[in-house]
Amino acid sequence: MKKIKLLLINVFNGFCMALADSVPGVSGGTIAFLLGFYDEFINSLDDLFRGNMDSKRKAFMFLIKLGLGWVIGFLLAATMLSNMFTSKIYEMSSLFLGFIIFSIPQVIKEEKDSVKGHYKNIIFLILGAILVAGISYFTTHSSLGVDVNNLSLFNIIYIFFAAAIAITAMVLPGISGSTLLLIFGLYIPIIGAIKKFISFDFSVFPLLMIFGLGVLFGIVAFVRILKNCLNNHRSKTVYFILGMMVGSLYAIINGPTTLEVPMEMMTFKTFNILFFIIGALIIVLLEVLKRMMMKKD
């Protein structure tokens, strides 16, 4: 029974991460941090490549369960939900505002030992907020791009390193990898390629392979650094992560401007209170579910 619970928890966690990762302005890392498995996620990624055989096996089993939920969630987002994220962007932005605002106190509660009494580290909170808000601002005022149908050497290198940078962002709470893909001009092409691939159009396989290798490189290169920060500088890192979550509020408000057909930034006029409340209730529900599923028989 306990094994089934853990399986369901990990699949559910991966599913929630994928839904967040697929939305510009929202980070799957925030979900991982909120639901309390961020450390295990980072440690497992590191152990998978650098651990001994036993730790590799444990990491693989955890990540395969998490990955199953992530794939289900991402395919759902890329097919059924992608149009909703565009046509109902203000409702979705309002929902995620409620989600993030009500998740910040929960993270502080979970990390109270790292937050309480370490108030000098608030500078890291400020830096984290500036970083995420700055990236979002840059998204609005810059538009890079590449022709994914022409896989020249330059384009291959461009796609590879863009993927590496984006996966780094997806791992970090607060920074949206989807937003960075939008900056690089790859969000729409990659989502489109995934849709084609699952429709058995394998002409996009070279593009997805290059992107996937970039993702793998980004994980291997970055995760060890992040693991060291969490283990040896936890208070500073937690403050920095909280700052990124605060900064992501601006990123979400700014999200409509980063669509393929840009829309106006969300204002009080386009803000939807109902979806905001739903986002807040999701946090309460996730916390209740987490406590119920982790409760010992």
Per-domain boundaries in the chain: 2-294
Q: Among residues 208, 176, 202, which one has the least CA distance to residue 190?
A: 208
What residues have CB less than 8 Å from 196, skipping those under 6 apart? Answer: 203, 204
**pTM score, whole prediction:** 0.71
Residue 80 Cα distances to 13, 72, 170, 182, 184, angstroms: 20, 12, 21, 20, 24
**pLDDT for res 293:** 60
pLDDT of residue 241: 83
Q: What is the DSSP-derived secondary structure letter of residue 265?
A: P
DSSP conformation class of 25: T
How many CA atoms, within 13 angstroms, populate the side-chain half-sphere of residue 230? 19
Interhelix angle 273-294/2-21, rounded to 10 degrees, is 150
Q: Supply the pLDDT for residue 139.
A: 59
| One-letter identity of residue 79 | T
Across all residues in the chain, what is the average pLDDT? 81
Ranges of the chain with pLDDT below 70 = 1-2, 23-26, 80-86, 139-148, 173-176, 179, 182-183, 258-260, 290, 293-297
Q: Tell me which residue of 32, 91, 71, 18 sits closest to 255, measured CA to CA.
A: 91
- Whether the Cβ atoms of residue 289 and residue 4 lie closer than 8 Å to each other: no
- Cα 148 to its chain centre, rounded Å, is 24
Per-residue pLDDT, 124:
95
Cα–Cα dist 236/230, whole Å: 9
